[in-house]
Chain A
Amino acid sequence: MIAFLLKRTANAVFVMLAVALLAFVIFRFFGDPVEMMVNEQASLQDRVELRERLGLNDGFVTQYTRFVTNAVQGDFGISYRNQQDVMVLIKERFPATFELVLVATVISLVVGVPAGVITAVYRDSRLANMLQLGSIVGVSLPSFVVGILLILAFSVSLGWLPAFGRGETVDIGWWSTGLLTPSGRAALVLPAISLSTFQVTLVMRLVRAEMLETLRADYIKFARARGVPTARVQWRHALRNCLMPVITLTGMQIGNLIAFALVTETVFQWPGMGMLFIQAVTFVDLPVMAAYLLIVSFIFVALNTLVDITYAWVDPRLRDDSARGNG
């Protein structure tokens, strides 16, 4: 088990280093941050000096090593644009993204699971067909379109919900939450729905497939034969046995949602990490871009590694198999 743990951790570290390297290679094509930092009147000499001070003239290997060494110590430097500590910037934005992702996840489960059961149990009914059709729309509409449609309907036409922003927030320690104020909750509704549309259909389809499988199992027939009420068989016995993969998927998708929140955040001006990243890209704010990529990939890697380890813990057969990789 210890050998397995070490192996998985080593893998994770390797992935992180690769991400950092890739990020660095990409940055070379992003252009010159100095051009964005100085104003019209700066002389050529000023520009050269600034480039030198930022260490942009150093070799690729030197820059990469310096970045990794600092990053390991949690030091990503300060943002070119805001002149603020990058870690502080990300720490400020993280709660916004996390709350959005959390609420979107809850919506995806609360809507997706029952919808999946209904489409499995009442196959070919009108409701099930409509849900199936709706799920195709949900999968195929890009989330920024969903976002803009929601804004048009609920903010512009009906005027019920705010079109942008996070409303009033309350600080609990360093964590700022919008869940405790009415305006914060109102502001959360549209972005969370827009972020969850894809997720809802994913959960629904997974539950549906699993349910169809499970409903054919012998113990369901036995339960029916014993005279257990149909609804109870479907919603308790069958559904419970379907939930394991749903929970796994939901856990793994959190990483995805954090990454995809970027689009939703841009549409709704949600002050989260994705918004920070998009602005960093516009201004070639390399420290922020690098830190964001690393932190998001860290979340991905950590979730995957955790899932792998849990699986191995639950199912000893996987430990010997680890060399082939189960992530």
Chain B
Amino acid sequence: MKLRHLMLATAAVAALSGTAQAENVLKWGANRDIGSLDPYSFGDSFTINVLNHVYEGLVRYSKDLKIEPALAESWEILDDQITWRFKLREGVTFHNGNPFTAEDVVASLTRVSHETSPLKGNLPAYVSSKVVDDHSVDITLNGTYPLLLNDLTNIHIFDEEWLTENDALMPTDVGAGTEGYATYNANGTGPFIVDSRQPDAKTVFVANADWWDEPQHNLDKIELTPVNSAATRVAALLSGEISFTNDAPVQDLPRLAAAPNVEVLEGVDLRTVMIGFPFRDALTTGAPNPFKEKAVREALYKAIDLDLIHQKVMRGKSRTAGATVAPPIPGYVEALDNLPGYDPEASKALLAEAGVPEGLEFEFNCLSDGLVNEEQFCQAIASMWSRIGLAPKLDVAPRAVQSPKRTNGKTDVYTLGWATLPLLDSYSPLLQIFHSKTGNAGVFNWGGWSYPELDALIDAAGQELDLEARLALQTEALQMVKDEMIMIPLHQQPMAWAVTGEVAEMPLFADAKPRLWFARMGAGS
């Protein structure tokens, strides 16, 4: 290409973007693309988060992450204690103009809980739903269950008529190898409308002028572009090609902060990073498993210099944690957050007392594509454990490789990050991680522990409709987890977003989900 052409081309691009800025286009450079336009097609919270701009649930999270009415105006639990009646908002229309009615809710709930839906786990207590009248719907559960609203924040409502017309009432099924209309098209009630989509290149959303709610944003358009490579993302932000990223790489933060036109938004994620122990009879080496002893777990806990990890590995940006859930999560109380204190001498004494042989070998399983700086903090912890006379074998690999080992008990000590999503409640880790493996519970109980007393507390909480009483039960359970040191919490990890000067307001959410219906761009920039 001739240089002259090239410069003309660049000038044209500049001119184009110049006019575009006049109408408030937020150029969002994410670290990956959404899987499809169908939120029910893949169990992926980023896709659900992005599509939440297009589709809405019956309830939603407010700016301070409290549950508030969205497509439902109010709700009540009927006398049988297992049926919830939702009164739906009137006058809401889908992007194609169809009115929103009770039929839509039933169709959506049926679709998401269908056998082939990868998201059916998101509605664990759901049994059935039925239309009461045009704007009321009854949802029946399998028992008394307090967290239905939390679940519903992530269940997007489709238009029944639109689904029927396009033969998309059932979710897509990879097993059968069929595609679906909703994979390529979207029709929600949300603040933004999908304008166009080129997978892995660009998805454009335009503001919905007919949104039922008073918009707090002043965006006209969102252009979502995946930029997978961290270096390219930083470059694009510096050159102004993107105006927002929800993944500013930790190592580039000083550089971004120093740039005149970029603002870094830092916060602490809700995700608590923990270390889990095996409770099986033998280690992977075949040796008897000492981690079943609480004293040994305590020894490992006290051998970790949490302060050093906070200062050096996490560059002072993490929040050292004593509890297995973050402070904003219901169920947390300050007493849970006590730290054990770094004391390697005490650790050695504990190990000796428990009769753990010097140089005990065990596997330490970490992800290379998991938590923030995971590889580094795993290395640091492994060397801290070596200092008290143990011989951890660090095993670092991508999630896809490590997951089967972890779920099948083919490893010993492991890391786990838990943000309590999508519930945003301490019931989530209690049920998914700390409960014994039974039925739906304890899916992430990789160590294989079982505390009947703890299970009883969690089960009671899972049926307690009174909020205060439920949280008291959960706090008690969390205290038990802490006392028994089933898992040791390390920290809540840092998160960082970055925006250019064009963006005036971008609220940072502790669950790391951008909610651009609260974003504002500077006037006249």
Contacts and interface: CB of A to CB of B under 8 A. Distances in A.
Interface of A: 29-33, 35-44, 46, 49-50, 53-55, 75, 77-78, 80-85, 89, 92-93, 148, 151-152, 155-156, 159-167, 169, 182-183, 185-186, 189, 266-269, 271, 275-276, 278-279, 282-284
B407 interface: yes
A155 B10 CA distance: 11
A161 B10 contact: yes
Contacts of B404: 31-32, 35
Interface string B1-43: 1000111111011001000000000000000110110100111
A278 B228 contact: yes
Given A159-B239, A269-B229, 15 more contacts: A29-B401, A31-B404, A37-B174, A39-B119, A40-B421, A41-B121, A50-B118, A53-B116, A78-B174, A83-B36, A83-B183, A267-B232, A269-B227, A271-B200, A284-B400
Given A35-B399, A78-B178, A83-B179, A41 B232 contact: no
A39 to B, nearest CB: 3
B257 to A, nearest CB: 16
A43 B227 contact: no
Contacts, number: 199
A185 B400 contact: no
A87 to B, nearest CB: 11
Contact of B241 (A37, A44, A164): A164
Interface residues of B, number: 74
Contacts of B116: 53
B403 A53 contact: no
B241 A42 contact: no
Among A77, A93, A151, A164, the most chain B Cβ lie within 10 Å of the Cβ of: A164
B437 A162 contact: no
A117 B442 CA distance: 70
Contacts of A160: 6-7, 10
Contact of A77 (B16, B177, B402): B177
B122 A163 contact: no
Contacts of B177: 75, 77-78
A53 B171 CA distance: 14
B345 interface: no
A39 B44 contact: yes
A89 B199 contact: yes
Among B35, B226, B398, the most chain A Cβ lie within 10 Å of the Cβ of: B35
Contacts of A155: 235-236, 239, 241
B172 A163 contact: no
A163 B43 contact: no
B399 A183 contact: no
Contacts of B407: 35
Contact of B369 (A35, A49, A148, A282): A282
Contact of A269 (B119, B184, B225, B421): B225
10 contacts: A35-B403, A37-B43, A43-B124, A50-B175, A83-B35, A164-B236, A166-B201, A183-B12, A271-B198, A279-B228
A37 B118 CA distance: 7
Among A41, A271, A278, the most chain B Cβ lie within 10 Å of the Cβ of: A41
A156 B175 contact: no
B443 A44 contact: yes
B373 interface: no
B59 to A, nearest CB: 17
B180 A83 contact: yes
B111 to A, nearest CB: 14
Contacts of B120: 42, 46
A32 B402 CA distance: 9
A277 to B, nearest CB: 11
Contact of B174 (A53, A163, A268): A53
Contacts of B9: 182-183, 185-186
Interface string B455-472: 000000000000000000
